[in-house]
Amino acid sequence: MAQNLKGRSLLTLGDFTASDVRLMLDTAREYKRLKYAGIPHRIHEGKNIALLFEKASTRTRCAFTVAANDLGIAPEYLGKDDIQLGKKETVEDTAKVLGRMFDGIEFRGFAHETVEELARHAGVPVWNGLTDKFHPTQILADFLTIEEHVGRLKGTKLIFVGDGRNNMANSLMIGSALMGVDFRILAPRELFPEQALIDRAHELARESRARITITDNFEEALQGADVIYTDVWVSMGEEDKFAERIHQLRHFQVNRNMLNLTGNPEVKFMHCLPAFHDTLTVTGKHVQDEFGLDAMEVSDEVFRSPHSIVFDQAENRMHTIKAVIALTL
């Protein structure tokens, strides 16, 4: 497969061209075909990658691990208790050490500046598995899933509902602007994205002919939607904000009424997971007891409905991450 991204780091999709992203998506689709057909594709046999996790993860860790194994690569997991970036050793020194031992490095953590610092000094590809600002590998999985279910990406009406300042809203906005999507954020005004990112999205949209809309008007945002996307109301590290976020977002829950406002009986529902759609988790039960809600960002009815494509989306994390690793090593 094409290797013209060899040596590149993936920190944000805004660092790439639309043709680069198209290559990643097409490569992922081919690897998914090979996986389903049982055809081996161990093209990087004998290589090693480090998986650095300041933040806990299910999908990202599993996707990188399985993708690496399928490509013939040995992954080494380093959790927050195994490596202390910036505490006992600088990020720069850590990057230089790991770059001598590994062929690539994944980082999932808090500050986006950390993954940027790793990429500056490692001398090998660095992949952003999530920071407080961006989550690019998730967006690749989302775009592949949209193409599979909607049939196209360019011109798709994609609506993000919820906290418009979080890493998912940021990443979807930049990726959509790059790829010509009709992207809308539906959020309270106090949770709109930062202006610098909106300006960057409009800059990218001029070339792709994407449309970027930021609004608190439900009808404006939802009319004709192909996909409604949401995320948790409280991000990792913001657990003290539950009461504030519920107050701001309780009317922004994705439920049957919201789907009806789209006027599209085939509208799809997406979520990067985990989702608080019932009271069967410790957090879900706490929210019910404390705030009287039996679900947060999405109702259980919508989450379990035929509109929901969240598990296809989760699976595609692995196929798209595999493409990124394969193309950049």
Assign residue 173 the CATH number of its domain. 3.40.50.1370
Rounded CA gap, 234 and 244, in Å? 9
Q: Is residue 69 part of a domain?
A: yes
CA 8, 13, 14, 17 dihedral sign is: positive
Catalytic residue among 44, 61, 112, 135: 135
Give yes or no: residues 161 and 118 share one domain.
Answer: no
Q: What is the pLDDT of residue 53?
A: 97
Give yes or no: residues 301 and 323 share one domain.
Answer: no
Catalytic residue among 8, 61, 231, 307: 231
The residue to which tokens 């990658």 are assigned: 49
Catalytic residue among 112, 138, 226, 307: 138
Q: 17 falls in which pLDDT band (50, 70, 90)?
A: very high
Q: Are residues 326 and 320 in contact, defined by beta-carbon separation less than 8 angstroms?
A: no
Q: 87 falls in which pLDDT band (50, 70, 90)?
A: confident
Indicate the angle between helix axes 167-179 and 136-150, nearest 10 degrees: 60
Rounded CA gap, 193 and 196, in Å? 8
Per-residue model confidence as pLDDT tens digits over 286-324:
999 999 999 999 999 999 999 999 999 999 999 999 999
Mean pLDDT (the chain) is 96
Q: What is the pLDDT of residue 83?
A: 85
Structure tokens at 308: 């929901």
Catalytic residue among 61, 108, 245, 271: 108
Catalytic residue among 182, 272, 277, 319: 272
Structural domains counted in the chain:
2
Q: Is residue 125 part of a domain?
A: yes
Give yes or no: residues 24 and 83 share one domain.
Answer: yes
pLDDT (mean) for 147-175: 98
Question: Could you list the residue range(s) of the whole structural domain that residue 70 is in?
Answer: 13-134+316-328
Q: Is residue 108 annotated as part of the catalytic site, yes or no?
A: yes
Q: Is residue 254 part of a domain?
A: yes
Q: Is residue 209 annotated as part of the catalytic site, yes or no?
A: no
Rounded CA gap, 205 and 326, in Å? 28
Q: Is residue 272 annotated as part of the catalytic site, yes or no?
A: yes
Q: Is the pLDDT of residue 69 over 90?
A: yes
Q: Is the pLDDT of residue 3 over 70?
A: no
Per-residue model confidence as pLDDT tens digits over 213-270:
999 999 999 999 999 999 999 987 778 888 999 999 999 999 999 999 999 999 999 9
Pairing of strands 227-230, 157-161: parallel
Q: Is residue 139 part of a domain?
A: no
Q: Is residue 317 annotated as part of the catalytic site, yes or no?
A: yes
Q: How far is CA 238 from CA 86, 167, 178, 186, 243, in A?
A: 21, 13, 29, 21, 11
Q: What is the pLDDT of residue 238?
A: 79
Q: Is residue 207 part of a domain?
A: yes
Catalytic residue among 61, 271, 307, 317: 317
Q: Are residues 47 and 329 in contact, defined by beta-carbon separation less than 8 angstroms?
A: yes
Rounded CA gap, 242 and 234, in Å? 6
Q: Torsion angle, CA of 163/164/169/174, rounded to 10 degrees? A: -170
Q: Is the pLDDT of residue 152 over 90?
A: yes
Q: Which amino acid is at 180?
A: G
Q: Over pLDDT 90: what percentage of the chain?
A: 93
Per-residue model confidence as pLDDT tens digits over 97-136:
999 999 999 999 999 999 999 999 999 999 999 999 999 9
Rounded CA gap, 221 and 160, in Å? 9
Q: Is residue 174 part of a domain?
A: yes
What residues contact 58, with CB distance under 8 A and at least 6 apart? 273, 274
Give yes or no: residues 249 and 178 share one domain.
Answer: yes
Give yes or no: residues 221 and 300 share one domain.
Answer: yes
Q: Is residue 147 part of a domain?
A: no
Give yes or no: residues 32 and 115 share one domain.
Answer: yes
Indicate the SS3 state at residue 190.
Answer: helix
Structure tokens at 196: 């610098």
